Amino acid sequence: MSRESKYLIRKIEAFDTAFKFFSKCSSGMGVEEKMMIFLCNMNFWDWEIENIIYSVVNFEDRSEAFENFSSLIEGVMKSGFLLKQSKVEDVKLDRRWKNHSSCRSKSTSQMVAPVDQLNQLIDDWNDFLSRIEKKLMSKTAKSFENWGENMKADLSSFKKEKLEKKGVENGEER
């Protein structure tokens, strides 16, 4: 049995709420104006979604410290932190006790990344960028004459690929 990271789910939901703000009219501001504001800050929004994608893609590596004591110690050492040996032993004993006692809940499950939610966010993101292209973007060279060669006629370079879901095949966990 697995459960999805609440932290990553909240991160995805917060981003989704923020960027969807730009697709709706609000007091005194039309959709086109909001979309232009979004485009003005496109590098920020692109960085934000890339950060979420990175968090989901690398979640398994980070979660290994929760599951495996050796990975925990190795990760701390690779990060360059010097630990008190007595504290390392305390944690090691504590984990052994929890793994072999009634203290550890039978329902404890492995934490996984919310790939489905991320893929939905990516679909929404790509759809929003397509709507911006249709509503606002000009594909004519005349529009670019005074601005130079770095102008973009579309947002294809900002669109994202969906992730494959690992560990689940035909609805069953591997």
Q: Is the pTM of this model over 0.75?
A: yes
pLDDT tens digits, 120-145? 999 999 999 999 999 988 776 555 55
DSSP state of 70: H
Residues 6+ apart with CB under 8 A from 171: none
Q: How confident is the model at residue 147 (pLDDT cuts 50, 70, 90)?
A: low
pLDDT, the chain, mean: 83
